[in-house]
């Protein structure tokens, strides 16, 4: 697997759906990871265009954090704002839920297809596929027809296990900047 160099990531996009009723759903793990990063580094969220945005500094590297407020299927609408800020696709990392990984497993990869994830599909449609993905495993339901409902359900795992996955994702992100 290609290593992420500490000088390449300038923006982290956490995928999720806006609103408190969605916050604890599987599909919103990207928002939750970014919220922990913002809290850890003392950052406050503000609205900028169609997103909540803030910046943090990890080991001297400034990283823009973005939570699209457009709903999952149109997450890519935040990309033009990043491009205006001089941030290219290859300098973006997207934190998202991943059906293909067992619950709690966190991995990253560079590029690839959307594999049916509508948030990734939207981002790829705007800027191509050459960005880092931080994949937070949510497992997969036995019946593939259940996927749309599954991702919009609250986690059934313990809050401690969910927090452990979030901390693993935060640790992985921090390791990119050492």
| pLDDT at site 169 | 98
CATH code that applies to domain 11-175? 3.40.50.1470
Angle at which helices 159-175 and 29-40 cross, to 10°: 60
Rounded mean pLDDT, 17-32: 96
Of 27, 46, 61, 117, the active-site residue reads: 27
The larger pLDDT score, comparing residue 144 to residue 37, is at 37
Task: For residue 27, indicate whether it is catalytic.
Answer: yes
Rounded mean pLDDT, 130-135: 94
Rounded mean pLDDT, 36-47: 98
pLDDT digits over 87-101, tens only? 998 899 999 999 999
Residue 3: pLDDT over 50: yes
pLDDT category, 1, cuts 50, 70, 90?
very low
| pLDDT at site 115 | 84
CA atoms of 17 and 89, how far apart (whole Å): 22
| pLDDT at site 108 | 95
DSSP symbols for the chain: -PPPPTTT--EEEE---SSTTTTTBGGGHHHHHHHHHHHHTT---EEETTEEEEEEEETTEEEEEEEESS-GGGGGGGHHHHHHTT--GGGEEEEEEETTS-TT-EEEEES---TT-HHHHHHHHHH-S-SEEEEEE----SSGGGHHHHHTSBP-S-HHHHHHHHHHHHHHHHHTT-
Beta carbons within 8 Å of 126's beta carbon, 6+ residues apart? 76, 77, 79, 80
Beta bridge partners of 58: 61
pLDDT category, 116, cuts 50, 70, 90?
confident
């Amino acid at each position: 697997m290609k290593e992420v160099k500490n000088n390449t990531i300038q923006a982290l996009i956490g995928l999720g759906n806006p609103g408190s009723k969605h916050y604890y759903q599987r599909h919103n793990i990207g928002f939750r990871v970014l919220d922990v990063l913002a809290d850890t580094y003392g950052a406050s969220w503000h609205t900028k265009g169609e997103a909540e945005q803030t910046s943090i500094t990890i080991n001297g590297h400034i990283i823009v954090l973005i939570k699209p407020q457009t709903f999952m299927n149109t997450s890519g609408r935040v990309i033009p704002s990043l491009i205006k800020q001089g941030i290219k696709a290859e300098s973006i990392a997207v934190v998202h839920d991943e059906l293909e990984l067992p619950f709690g497993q966190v991995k990253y990869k560079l590029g690839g297809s959307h594999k049916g994830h509508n948030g990734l599909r939207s981002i790829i449609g705007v800027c191509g596929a050459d960005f880092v993905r931080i994949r937070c495993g949510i497992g997969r339901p036995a019946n593939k027809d259940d996927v749309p409902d599954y991702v919009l359900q609250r986690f059934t795992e313990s809050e401690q296990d969910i927090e452990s996955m979030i901390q693993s994702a935060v640790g992985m992100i921090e390791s990119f900047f050492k």
